[in-house]
Every structure is written in structure tokens, then in C-alpha cells.
Amino acid sequence: MTDYKNIFGKPVKFLSTDPTDAGAEGQVWYNTTSGTFKSIIQNKTFSSGGALNTARYFNSSTGTQTAGLTFGNSPAPTNTATEEYDGAAWTSGGNLNTGRYGGGSAGTQTAGLAFGGGPAFNGATESYNGSTWTTSPATLSTGRGYLSGCGISTAALAFGGQNPPGVIIPVSTEEYNGTAWTAGGNLNLGRTAGTPAQSGTQTAALFYGGNNSGTQSDTQSYNGSTWTTVNSLNTGRYAAAGAGTQTHALAMGNGDPVTAIVEEWDGTNWSTSSASLATARNRFSGAGTGTAALAIGGFAPGASTATEEWNVSIYSPIAATWASGGAYPTSLRQNMSFGTQNLALSVGGWNNTSTVSTSASYDGSTWTATPSLNAAARMGGVAGTQSAGLEFGGIQPGGTYSANMQEWNGSTWADNANNLNTGSYGIVGFGTATAALKAGGENPGGGNYDAVEEYNGSAWTTVTAMPESKYVGAGNGIQTSGLIAGGSPSGTSTLEYNGSTWAAGDSLMTSRPGTQAGSAGTTSDSNIIFGGNAPPGVINDTEGYDGTAWSTRPSLATGRGSTNGNGTASLGLMVCGGPPSGLTTTVEEFTGGSPITPTGAVASTLTTS
């Protein structure tokens, strides 16, 4: 700690409350209230977004990560196409009146502005209202292409670019007030294919990189009248994409050499980011802020449909944990639960005397009795939600290995004539009420099943068998992305299902060969598994799966098996269960650790190892 000031450039602070802004990243302070040292650490990542419908480069973009707009592109003739982004997918918008590439842009998804660009290299300007482009009578005073822009549709900036045949690079800046373009302050260095901080404003803009007799690293800042040269990029770049503001900007990609490297501007200096684009490219565009941006299209090589989303989160010490939930009304084991942590349903089970038909719903704190199953059952499969679910198979009174299916509509249980093809118990079930999966179980004639069936809302169909048999395994997911782990005979094996084939996953860290460990998750790469019978006793261990490997999570307060779990890998639920001959009303809720966004960030407590 004695070298901290020399390393970070700031002294250790003494504070009674923790700061909650991203600017505190890396700062160490002593919280005098808790008596602990604390800091904030950011996590920066690019992830794949929805693909463009039209591959494009030299496109123009504006808006935000969840309401983006991109238009124009090279090559022609598709350079009038406009697309709108909702945070997940691109959809077609109204076409430009004047096809263009390498043009300037400003505004939002519902109030956009397009100006300049090739192939005409004129000053044509259009405005967008969320569905239609309208040509403005106002044109740029200096026609140009490969220019940059920022601001809003009624207070925009246009700067940089070139006039054909590419030998004239204007230094002029133009300002738009919604009706006309007027002269602003000149750039200190004109350049073509430079990069704007796309979320900058008419009075607070940033311009960096570009080409003028060679690739430039120059950065200039605008205050509404004058451009000031500030600290340069670490690597000169042109035909890159930009996002952010005058105080927090991104420079993504490069023209020559083509790169995936990203630099971040903190208002004073550029630094190379810890995260890079997944696909190196140039001639693309950006939108959004320094903490939530889009990289759209480009040349990689060839016109690209790729969209990448940049996000910054700050991790806090919100540790994963199990906590007590509302006690179940009846002591049980071998019951079946489905739904979410706060909207769950538990049905059936064994009370050490008989198989029961009872059913109860959970609201996150309290259980309420609901109508009973038409036929008592235990150790069967379940799927669905608190408002639409299924129970299938299991053991019915008298020891019958049931093929029956019962359907829940949110208020009552009814027999469904679409029974399983093969009756069994100790099975795994997951999915929805109209897209469910049943796997494994015990064969009444001896041994275990590897059989798998899928339900489509009207019939069960036998599909690809598992590569090994599974009895009383733990599993969850959806019909096209599921997982089964543990169980008998192999207590450690993991099997992943993609909707048509099975593949071996990473082995569990703790063997769970006994009756029904709990599990929760929504896909094959986001799961937790907890508890289970591991003779001679029960275990309380919890493990999490990321699609590649299992890792340790906090343990249950009460070790048990003979049940199953529900919910997600970050919000799971364990209901009842017990040792082989024991019962419990205990309910536990799992909460996973989570990232905190830069606004309202929570500090991490520093400890010694």
C-alpha cells in the first residue's frame, strides 16, 4: 500500500461512505465506517449483437445501443437502405432519398440526420422521423464525403472529409440549427475518414485519427467555436469507428493495418482498452456511449453484417449466497418444483407414509395451497411456469411407474391425454408447457433408461437417446439447450443437449450419484447444481456451469437430496427434500454475484491473501 500513490497517482482516501461513480475506478480508499479498504474494478467486453440485414461498409450510424440507426453503404446499389436496432435485432426503416456512403450523421433513431457522402460528394442533407427520410433544402456549404458528424438533428456538427478527387481536404466545420448550415471554427488539421465521438454535441465534440498525407493520431476538441489540439491517440488510425462523448470516447478498429484494437479516451488521455473487437475491421461506424456502444458493419474483408456491443460494468462484492426462503406447508421429499425463484410451483412428493397430490405456489416469500394433482405423483418430471406447467411420469400410489401427464393452467390441474411413450420415475424434465423434454429414469424391468422424449404441445416423440443412461439425475434448460448432470450410475458426468444431439460436458467436481440433486438454469451454459444423496449421507455442495467447466458456489445451509430445484443460475430455489428417509419443510433461495453498472456502483472490500 505504501507504493499506491506512485503507481496510481492518487493517495489513499479516508471516506465515511463509498463513492458510486465510474470515475472512482482503481481508486483505493479506507471506509472509516466499516473499517475496511475498498476499490472499484471495471469489466469491459464486446459481445455479438444482432446481424444487419444488409452487409455494408462506409455506412453512417447514430443513436444508442438499444435504439440505433444505420444507413447508406458502399457498394451501391443498396446505399439507400436504412436499418433500426432495438438492442437485439435490426429491422428495415425508410430508405434514404439520396443514396450515399461515407456520409456524416447525427441525432437519434427517431430524429436522425444524414449529410454529405459519396458518390456525389455534395452537401445533400436529409432528416429522419423514425419512418421516413425528408430532403432538407439546406445543404452543406462545402460538399464532401468521408466526413464526420455528431450532435442532434437540430444542433449538429459536420467536420472533416474530402472533395473528389481526394486531393482537397477541407478544414471547415459547419453547424446545423435544424434549417440551415453555417460556418463554425476551422479544424487545426483537416483530415478524411476521421473518427468522431458519435455522442458528442455541437458545443462539446471530439475528433480523432483520419488521413492527411498519412494516417493521423491527432485529436481535437471543440467547444462550440474553436478546435483545440489535445493528447493524441497511441496508434494512428483512419476509417475507424467512434462512440461516446468529449469526456469518454472510444476509437474502434483501424484502416491500415486492419485491427481489432480499441482505445479509450478519459477526457485527457487515450489508453489501449483491455477489450478488443471480436472481428478486426475498418470502414465501419459506431454509435452510443463510452459504456454502452455499438460497432456496426464494416469491411472485414468484404462487406460485413456484424454488430458488436460494447459494455462496461463495475463488479462489486455482491457474493453468491444461499438464504432461507418461506417454509413449505408440509414436510416432504421427492417433490417436484418448477418456475422461477419468485413464481414457483411445487407438486407431489412423499411424506414417509404415502405419495401425495398436494400443490402449492410461491411468491418469493410465502407458499399458498393450490388445487391438487388429479393423480398423486413423486420423482416425475416437470416443465413450465407458474401459469402454464406440466407434470409427467413418476411413481403413483401403489408403486406404479406412470406415463401419465397432468397439465396446469395457472389455476387447476387437468389430465392430459398425451401421455409419455414410456412410463418411468427418477426422470429429468425441463422446458415449457408446449416444448418440454423428458430424459432417463428407471426401467421397471431393471436398469436405467437412456431414452429421451420431446413434447410439442400435442404429442410426445422419441428423439436421440443419451449416450449413457441416467436415473435421478439433475437437469434443466430448454428443449433446444439443456443439461443433465450427476445421477446413477455415473455421479459426475454431464450431458449437454442442443435440440438434436447429446455431447459430453465437463465432469462435476462432486459426485452426486444418489436421489435427485437440485438444479436451476435456463440453458446448457448457465446452470447450478446443488445438494444430492451421496451415500452414506447427503451433501450441501453447490457448483455452477458456464458451458465449459464447473466451479464452486456457496453451499446450501442444509444438505439434502430427494428433490429438485428450479429458477436460474443466478436466482435458484431448493424446495423441501431430505436424506433417504428424512423429510423437511426447508426452502432456500440462491442469489448469484452480479455486476453493477457504472452509475450506482458498489465498492469491493480489499482483503489480504
pLDDT at 533: 85
Mean pLDDT for 173-194 is 96
Q: Give 78's pLDDT tier (boundaries 50, 70, 90).
A: low
% of residues, the chain, pLDDT over 90:
74
Same domain assignment for residues 53 and 139: yes
User: What is the rounded CA–CA span in Å between residue 47 and residue 44?
Assistant: 10
Question: Could you tell me which residue, 21 or 16, shows the higher pLDDT?
Answer: 16
Final residue of a structural domain among 264, 289, 315: 315
Has residue 393 got a pLDDT over 80? yes
Q: How many domains does the chain have?
A: 3
Q: What are 558-588's pLDDT values in tens digits?
A: 999 998 899 999 899 999 998 878 899 999 9
Same domain assignment for residues 424 and 571 = yes
Environment class of 205 (CB within 10 Å of its CB; exposed 0-12, middle 13-18, buried 19+): buried
Domain identity same for 188 and 291: yes
Strands (E), 56-135: 60-63, 68-71, 82-85, 90-92, 104-107, 112-115, 125-128, 133-135
Same domain, 459 and 483: yes
Q: Say yes or no to pLDDT of 462 above 60.
A: yes
pLDDT (0 to 100) of residue 603:
46
The backbone torsions φ and ψ at residue 224, rounded to the nearest 5 degrees and listed phi first, read 105, -15
Question: pLDDT of 321-342, one tens digit each?
Answer: 999 999 999 999 999 999 999 9
pLDDT tier for residue 523 given thresholds of 50, 70 and 90: confident
Q: Domain of residue 208: give its range.
A: 49-315
Mean pLDDT of 522-550: 88
Q: What is the pLDDT of residue 2?
A: 41
* Residues 36, 54 within the same domain: no
Is the pLDDT higher at 6 or at 91? 91
**Residue of 38, 45, 33, 6 whose CA lies nearest to 19:** 38
Q: Are residues 68 and 23 in the same domain?
A: no
Computed over every residue of the chain, the mean pLDDT equals 89
Tens digit of each residue's pLDDT (9 = 90 or more) over 423-456: 999 999 999 999 999 999 987 777 778 999 999 9
Using DSSP, state whether 280 is helix, strand or coil.
coil
The CATH number covering residue 304 comes to 2.120.10.80
* Residue 604 pLDDT grade (very low, low, confident, very high; cuts 50, 70, 90): very low
